[in-house]
Structure 1
Amino acid sequence: MSKVETIKERLAAVRETMAKTGVDIYLVLTNDYHISEYSGDYFKEREFITGFTGSAGTAVIMKDKAKLFTDGRYYVQAAKEIDGTGFELMKDGSVGVPSVTEYVEQQLSDGACIAFDGRTVDARMGLKLLDIAAKKNATINDDFDAIAPIFESRAPFPESKAFYLDEKYSGATIKEKLVAIRESLTKANATCHIIASLDDVCWLFNIRGNDVWCNPVIMAYAYIDESKAILYTDGDRFNDEILAKFKECNVEIRPYNSVYEDAAKLKGKLLLDTKRINTRLYNICNANSDLTCIFKENPSVLLKAIKNETEIANLKSVHREDGAALTKFIFWTKKAVKEGKQITEADAAEYLDSLRAKISDYIELSFDTISATGPNAAMMHYHATKENASVLKPEGMLLVDSGGQYLRGTTDVTRTFALGPVTEEMKKCFTLTLKGMLNLSNARFLHGCNGFSLDILARGPLWNDGIDYRCGTGHGVGYLLNVHESPNGFRWKHIPGVNDLAVLEPGMVTSDEPGVYEEGKFGIRIENEIVTKKDYDNEYGTFLSFDNLTMAPIDLELVDKAYLDKTDIERLNNYHATVYENIKEFFEGEELEELKMATRAI
C-alpha cells in the first residue's frame, strides 16, 4: 500500500473512533508530555496520522475536513508530504491564515466536542480551548487518543541511562542550582514548584541522557520546595555516583507518572509555568483546593540561559574544534565535486558527521545535518536521505546546517558555499545575507534590549531589497541541551504572550542566521553562534556587545563586494583573521594553505 493510501486508511479509522465517542474536532499535536520542541519516536502520533515528518505542526481532524498547521520553515516540505492524503496545508503565520485555536473556534458548532490528549497540549493552549468551548456551549475531552489503538509499530517509551555532567563542564553544583531556584521562589512569594520541561529538569540536576534524538535529556518531572526536591523518573537510570550526588542534596526519586497523583495532594503556593506544563497536570494542580497557583516562567529558564564562566570557556574551546571540522569538510566537498566524484547531499552530511564524531568529547549531533543543494535548499529544514538525495554538481551552492553535542557544549552553524559557477542573483543574495549577519554580530547596544530591538540589523539589508525570510533570525542555544533554547532570540514580529523574548544578558548564547530562500531555485543561510558580553558603563547605562563563538570561514567565492561598504569589508576581514588564529593549529600542509586562502583579507 502506498504512503498516501496508508494515511487515508488511518484517517478513516480515527474518524470512526471520533464518531463512536461523539468527538467533532480532534487535535493531534507534535508534543511529548513535557511540551518539548523535539520529541522521541514514541510520541510521533501527528507524523503517523499526517505523513508530515517535520518537527512542528498540529493536525485538526473533523468529520469531513482535515488540516495540517505548520510554520514557514516547513511550507514546501509539508505540501509535498501531505499531497493526496486528505490533509490540507494551513500556512501558520501567513496573512489571512487563522491560528489553530482561531480555526477551531471558527469550525466549532454549538454543543460540539473538542478532544485531545491533555498530556500533549500546553496549559496555555488548553485554557484557550476551554474558553472557546464555553462560548459555544461545547465540551472538552482532554483524555482522548484515537491514534494509540492503531499505532501498532509504535516505538517503546524512552528509558535511556543518565550520566552526570561534572562541575568542570557545568560550572555549578546541584546544591548551588537548588539554592538559586529557591531564592527565585521566595522572590515570587511561592513555597513550591513543579518543573515539567526536560531541559530545565536536566540542567537543575546536572544530568543528561539519550531519551530524545539530538537532545541529551531524560523523561522526568521535578518538584522543589524549601527543604527537598523530588525527581519523577525511573530510578534505574542512575548509577551510584549520581545517586550519591542526589543524596547530598536531599533529592528523592519517585516513579515517573506519580507526579500526577502527588500534585493532587500538594499544599502551599505553587509556581507553575503554563507554557511548559501540560494541560492535564495543570488541571490537577488548579483543582487542588490546598494549592494557590502562581503563574510565572520557570526560574530555571533564565538561570540556564545565562552561561557561567566555565560554560563559556568550554564553548569557546569546542567551537574551535567544531569549526575546524566544518572547514575541513568544506575543503573536501569543493575538491571532490570539482574532481567529478559522485557525491550526494546525504554523502556530504555523512562525511561531516564523521568528522565531528572524531572530536574527543563528542556525544551526538545537536540535530540531523541539513545538506541541501539547488531547490532543496529553499526548504529550511530539508533532510536528505539515501533515497531522495540530490547529486552535488559542479555548479550552484550547497547549504549545510549542522552541529554537535559535546561535554563542552552545543554547537550550531550554517555555511553556504559554492560548488562551481553561480549566478549574479545568488551572489547578491549571499552578500546581503552576509552583510546582515555581520551587522548583528558586531552590534553594540544598551542593556535592556531584547531580540526584537536588534533583529532589524540582520534583516535590514535584505528588506532594503524587498527580500525576507519566514523565520526568526536567531534562537538561544543550550549547553549540552536543546539546540533551540528560550528565552533569548532574534525576531521582528512580536506576538505578546506567544513569542516573548527576554532582555539580553551577558552570558546568553544566541544564533545569528539570516538567509534567503527562493522556492524552486536556491537557499542561502549563514549562521554563527554569538555570546553576549558586557562592554562598559557610562552615563547612558550598560553597553553590551557580542563575541563570535563560531569559527569557520565564509565562502569568498560568493561575496560580491559591490554590495558591501568599507565597514562590512573590515568586519569580514576581522572575522576571518580571528578564524585563522583560532583554528590554524588543526591544519597543516596543503590544508593550511587552503585555510590561509579561505580567510584572506579582501
Structure 2
Amino acid sequence: MRTTIVDLRRVMQREGIDAWISPSSDAHQSEYPTEYDKCRRFLSGFTGSAGTLLVMKEEAYLWTDGRYFLQAENELKDSGITLMKMGEPGVPTLDELLEEKLKSGEVLGFNGSLLSFSEGKVIAGKVVKNGVKLAIGKEITDEVWTDRPKRPHTKVFILEEKYAGKSAAKKISEVREKMKGRDLLIVSSLSDIAWLTNLRAFDIKCNPLFLSYFILESDKATLFIQEEALSDEVRKYLDENGIDIKPYDNFDENVANIKNKQIIFDEADVSYKTFISISKKENANKLYSVLSPVTYLKNIKNDIEVLNMKKSHIRDGVYMAKYIYWLKNQVKNGANLTEKTASDYLDNLRRGDEFFLDLSFPTISGYADNGAIVHYEAEYETAKKLEAKGLYLFDSGATYKDGTTDVTRTISLGENTYEEKLHYTLVTIGMLRLLNTIFKRGAIGVCLDIKAREALWEHGLDYNHGTGHGVGFVNTVHEAPTSIRNKINKDVFRNLEFEPGMIMSDEPGVYISGKHGIRMEILMTVADRGEGFLGFEPLTMAPIDSEPLLVDVMTKKDIEFYNKYQKQVYDSISYGLSEEEKAWLKEITKEI
C-alpha cells in the first residue's frame, strides 16, 4: 500500500470526505500539467499522462486508457490501487462506480478547478440524485504533498507574425465574429490562449505554453497571467493588440463577479468551479455551451502556418534519416547502445536546428518487448541494450519556431521473425492507406479510421488507441478535437468535420506483450481535392525502413502508395545528407 494513499485517507477522515477524485489535469484541463499540478502522479505513483484516481475509505482505483495498460500494471503493483482499463468489457466508468459505491449522506470530494465542467456535471449528476454531497472547495492533497513544487512562470516570448500567419489583433477580431453578438467568452485552455495571443513560454515541459486565462468581450480583452512571466516588450505588445493584463490569481474573483451577461463557454475547457461561479442564479447570466470558437479556428491552420509546418518537417526528416542511418550502422558494428543513449543522439540532432525551441514530448524509444508499451519512456539505469536483431520503435518530435513535429518509425536492427515482418508490413499498409484516402466533405474521424485498421483486422489484429490526433502549430502536439478514431465522441461539438488546413497524425500500430511493438506515424494536412472531396497531404518526410517489409502481403495499390511516399521523402530530404547517407537513403527508398 502506498503511504501517500494512507496519508490521504487520514486527511479525508478528518474532513468528513468518503471518496476523493484526483484527475491528471490542471485548472486549464491540460493534457500535460506543470510539476506543481501533478497531484494524481504524486498520490498514485502512476506516471502516465492520462488517468484518474479515486480513493475511498477501503478501496482505491485508477482509470487509464489502452496506451498505458502495461505501464500502469507495472507502476501500480503493490500500491493497493486497482487498475481500471477504460473501454474494456465489464469495466465501469468512474461515474458508474461512484453511483454504485456511494450512499446517501456520504461526501464526494474533488478540487473543482481540476475537473472540466463536462466531467464534473456527469459525476455530480450521477451521485447527487442519490443523496451524495459534494465537497469541491479545496485541494486536500496539499496536506499530504508537503514538498510540492512551486508554480512555474517562465518568460513569455512573442511568436512573430511571419510564423503565425496572422496578428493577435486579427485573430481576436475573427473570434469576436464567431461569438455572434454574445457578450463574453471565457477561455481557460492554455493552447487556445497561446494561439490567440501569438505568445509562447515553457511553463510545462515540452509544451510551449504559459499559465493564464483569457476573457474576451465585445469591446475588451483581458489576459490573466503571472506578472513575473512578462517582460516590458511583451507588455507593450499586449497593449498594442488591445489586451489588458490582470494577475493570474484574480481570475476566480473576476469570474464570480460577472453579472447579467451572455456568456459563451466550452464545457471541456472551463472548470467545474468556473461553471458554478457563472451559473449562480443571483448573477443572472445567460450561458451558451459551445465548442470554443478559439479552439475551432486554431484547428484550421492558415496558409502561412501550413507552409511553415512543411519547412520544419523537411528539416526534421533530415534528422530522422541521419539517425536511422547512424543507428543501423552502430548496431551492426557492435556499438554499446541502449534505448536511452541511442535516442539522445536523435534529440541532439534536433537541438542543433537554428529554429529549435524544445522537444514536443519526451522521446519514446522502445526496443523489442519494450516497444509494446505504447508510451514507454526509457531511463538510463534500466534502458534495454540494442542488439543486431528484432525491431526498434521510436516516437519523437520537436517544437520549432516554424512548426511542431511528431513522427514514429519502427526499424529493423537485424534478423526479424516472420511474425515481426508481417505485423510491420500490416501497420505500414494501414498508415499509407489512410494517408491516400479520398473522402467527401462533412466526414469526421470515425468515418476514416477503418482505412488504417482494415489490413490488421483481416489478420485478427488491432490496437488500443486512436489512429490520429490533431497537432498544434508551435503548440501542443495533441490538439483536440481533431482526431481519427474508431469510436464517435459522445460530445457532439467535438466530432469536428475535416476542413482544409487541419493537421493530424496517422499512426496505426501492433503491440504484442512480451515480444514487440510496432507503430508507424506521419503528420498530414487536409487538402481540397475538388468537387466536394478532400484528401491528405503528408507533412512528415521520414523514410520507411524497407528491410522488414513482406512485399507479397501488399496489394498493387499498397505498393504504389509505398513507392510514391518513399520518392517524396528522398526528393525532399536528400539535400541535407552526406554522400554516404544519400546513397543509403536512395537504396532504402527505392521502388519495390
Q: TM-score range by the shorter chain?
A: over 0.9
Could you say which residue in structure 2 is the equivalent of 1:99?
93
| Residue 436 to residue 336, structure 1, CA distance change in 2 (3 Å) | same
How many residues align? The count is: 590
Cα distance in 1 between the residues matched to 2:215 and 2:359: 30
Which shows bigger deviation, 140-149 or 443-452?
140-149
SS in 2 for 1:488: strand
Computed over aligned residues only, the root mean square deviation of the Cα atoms, in angstroms, reads 1.2
Q: 1:498 to 1:430 in 2, by over 3 A?
A: farther
2:577 pairs with one of 567, 587, 591: 587
**SS of the residue 2:547 aligns to:** helix
Separation (CA, whole Å) in 1 of partners of 2:219 and 2:138: 37
Residue 238 of structure 1: which of 219, 222, 230 is its match? 230
Residues 128-137 or 73-82, more deviating: 128-137
> Residue 3 of structure 1 corresponds to which residue in structure 2?
none
Partners in 1 of 2:320 and 2:149 — Cα distance?
A: 33
Displacement, 1:143? 1.7
Where in structure 2 are the equivalents of 1:135-534 lying within 5 Å? 135-186=129-180, 189-267=181-259, 268-287=261-280, 289-497=283-491, 500-534=494-528
1:147-185 deviation line (CA, Å, top 9, x unaligned): 211212322101111000100000000111011110011
Shift of the 178–33 alpha-carbon distance from structure 1 to 2, 3 Å rule, reads same
* TM-score for both structures, normalised by structure 1: 0.97
Cα distance, 1:499 vs structure 2: 9.2
SS of residue paired to 2:301? coil
| Alignment deviations for residues 315-353 of structure 1 (CA, whole Å, 9 cap, x no partner) | 111101101101111111111111111100001111110
Letter in 2 for 1:310: I
Deviations 1:441-481 (A, max 9, x none): 00111110111111110111111111110000000000011
1:570 aligned counterpart, secondary structure? helix
C-alpha distance in structure 2 between counterparts of 1:154 and 1:147, whole Å: 10
Q: Distance in 1 between matches of 2:402 and 2:254?
A: 36
Give 1:313 shift. 0.7
**What secondary structure sits across from 1:422 in the alignment?**
coil
Cα distance, 1:265 vs structure 2:
1.8
Query: Is contact 1:494-1:500 (8 Å) kept?
Result: no
Q: Deviations over 1:57-86 (max 9, x none)?
A: 011111110111111000000010010011
Q: Which residue, 543, 564, 568 being the options, matches 1:578?
A: 568
Distance 2:579 2:319 in 1: 16
Cα distance in structure 2, aligned partners of 1:55 and 1:12? 23
Contact 1:266/1:290 (<8 A) preserved: no
CA distance in 1, matches of 2:13, 2:157: 46
In the TM superposition, what is the alpha-carbon distance from 1:587 to its structure 2 partner? 1.0
Name the CA distance, whole Å, in 2 between partners of 1:264 and 1:464: 56
Shift of 1:302: 1.2
1:127 to 110, 121, 125: 121
Letter in 2 for 1:560: L
User: What does the per-residue CA deviation read over 1:242-294, in whole Å, with 9 as the maximum and x for residues that have no partner?
Assistant: 22222123211001021111112223100011111111111111115231111
TM-score for both structures, normalised by structure 2:
0.98
SS across alignment from 1:405: strand
Identify unmatched segments of 5+ residues in structure 2: none
Q: Aligned AA for 1:403?
A: G
Describe the superposition over 1:332-388 as per-residue Cα deviations: whole angstroms up to 9, x where unpaired: 111111111110000111111000001110000000000001111101000000011
3-state SS of 2:140 partner: coil
- 1:77-111 superposed Cα distances (whole Å, 9 cap, x missing partner): 00100100111111111111011111111111121
Using the alignment, how far apart are the partners of 2:493 and 2:67 within structure 1?
16
Question: AA paired with 2:484?
Answer: F
Q: What is the alpha-carbon distance in structure 2 between the residues aligned to residue 168 and residue 513 of structure 1?
A: 30
Conserved? CA contact 2:105–2:131, under 8 Å:
yes
Are the aligned partners of 1:320 and 1:551 in contact in 2 as well (CA < 8 Å)? yes
SS of the equivalent of 1:114 reads strand
What is aligned with 1:543? 533
What is the aligned counterpart of 2:24 among 30, 46, 49? 30
After superposing on structure 2, the runs of 4+ consecutive aligned residues of structure 1 that deviate more than 6 Å are none
Q: For 1:350 and 1:211, how far apart are their aligned partners in 2?
A: 23
The 8 Å contact of residues 258 and 283 in structure 2, kept in 1 or not, is answered as no
* Structure-1 separation of matches of 2:160 and 2:227: 20
Does the residue aligned with 1:452 lie in a helix, a strand or coil?
Answer: helix
Q: Is the 8 A contact 1:376 1:523 kept in 2?
A: yes
Question: d(CA) in 1 for partners of 2:226 and 2:150?
Answer: 14
